[in-house]
Amino acid sequence: DKFTQWGILQLLRWYPGKLPDLELMFDTADRPVGLSRSYRRPNSGPPPSFRYCSNHRSLGIVFPDWSYWGWAETNQRPWRASSREIQEGNKRIEWKDRVP
């Protein structure tokens, strides 16, 4: 959809020359797919799929939905402020000490 494309364009603008030339697959459905139990055999990695939703049983790589930023109804602050807050929160707990 156009909002996913807009989000990718924002990444390209924020990180000029730093994103590799590659193909990505986005699934904009609401429910997770690609169950991890389907890929338990050795060397049977799943195809990477970026999604807006995922859970512990699926393999979707969560991708932010930038279309919500700016909507008054969602009470979201601008992405730069939210991103800073997320980064600060990430510093509170070491990665190795996090509980999945």
Look at residue 7 and tell me if it is in a domain: yes
Predicted confidence at residue 33, as pLDDT, reads: 66
Look at residue 22 and tell me if it is in a domain: yes
pLDDT along the chain (100 residues), means of 10: 74 83 73 65 71 78 72 75 88 85
Residues 6+ apart with CB under 8 A from 45: 39
Look at residue 64 and tell me if it is in a domain: yes
Look at residue 75 and tell me if it is in a domain: no
Look at residue 21 and tell me if it is in a domain: yes
Look at residue 11 and tell me if it is in a domain: yes
pTM score > 0.75 for this model?
no
Predicted confidence at residue 21, as pLDDT, reads: 81
Distance CA 90, CA 21 (A): 28
- Overall domain count for the chain: 1
The domain in which residue 11 lies consists of 2-70
Predicted confidence at residue 9, as pLDDT, reads: 83
